[in-house]
Amino acid sequence: MIRVLVVDDSAFSRVTISRMIQRDPELKVVATATRGEEAIRLALAHRPDVVTLDLEMPGLDGFAVLRWLAANLPVPAIVVSSRQGRDDVFRALDLGAVDFVLKPQAHASLEYERLESVLIAKIRAIAEARPPRAAAPRRPVPPAAPIASGASALLVIGASTGGPAALTALFAALPPLACPVVVAQHMPAGFTGLFAERLTRVARFPVVEAHAGQALHPGRAYVAPGGAHLEIARDDGSWRARVEERAPRDLFSPSVDRLFRSAAAAAGAGALGVILTGMGSDGREGVVAIRASGGRTIAESEESAVVFGMPREAALSGAIDEVRPLGEIPAAILRLLRADPK
């Protein structure tokens, strides 16, 4: 049984979130709190497996709760946020929140059904989350100049839960590459542009949110727009971004599988796919496509992944060349991009 503490100053949100969680027979709401001080007291009393946390509360807010949890009680927290506080969400992730979901803007039943399925899946995955045991490199990986990877090379990266922190560490360590870098991070619409800006602050190369028809250049990185799917096409010897809207049936968008499959089709043996921390199996079909095209693949190891679901599924497919802790992935990327394709 996964025990959950629900923290939200809105009575409607507390009741709604609690009912969603209680409908799953393997989840149990052990307590609810309306403010930060109460959340800390109840966390100490009940020792929950997961905390769902609102950020805006009277008294101690959600940020203060996250700081206290990080220092005193290592319980994974998932932020349940309104759509307005994008900066607040990333600040919460910086303070140790493992993931976030958005509250629906309106009381539409379809929106709440989607929230329920996503929230329960994330709680299940986050219950097993833990701080990485293998830290990313403290110093950037040399060389500082672009590496010699052919004109047909393409690096694609997929991540979900725990991905923002992992990608930040990865981009801080990588040098500029002589190929485009394209990322599919499970994230809602409206957040990926800000996430790209945050990555640019730590990377030694520009990072932008991709848009339809955009040319993808070596030495730059592109983040798939949240709430949509990004695919890559080869057009007269250059790379182009193709963006498609999310379908109602799609559980995750952007889709790692769709990005990786398009990379396999466009780059063939020049494709290098990297699967980082995340829940579920998105990316499994994609790494199979990349290996079938002659490309290379890397999965983050359980040693460092916050949630080992996506890397584990990718590895079980038999299509992963190397399984590495996060701290070793930058060097592996450089080595494989230099290597001749198998």
Q: Is the CB of residue 311 less than 8 Å from the CB of residue 302?
A: yes
Q: Which two tokens stand for residue 340?
A: 């001749």
**Chain length of the chain:** 342
Computed from CA positions of residues 317, 318, 320, 326, in that sequence, does the dihedral angle turn out positive or negative?
Answer: positive
Q: Active-site residues: which are they?
A: 160, 186, 282
Which DSSP string do the residues of 161-207 spell out, in sequence order? TTHHHHHHHHHHHPPP-SS-EEEEE---TTTHHHHHHHHHHHSSS-E
Of 171, 203, 206, 202, residue with least CA distance to 185? 171
The whole-angstrom separation of Cα 341 and Cα 197 is 33
Amino acid at 102: L
Q: 10 in the Ramachandran plot: left (φ > 0), alpha (ψ -120 to 50) or beta?
A: beta
The whole-angstrom separation of Cα 275 and Cα 278 is 9
Which of helix, strand or coil describes residue 73?
coil
> Torsions phi, psi of 216, nearest 5?
-105, 120
> Torsions phi, psi of 108, nearest 5?
-80, 135
The whole-angstrom separation of Cα 60 and Cα 55 is 10
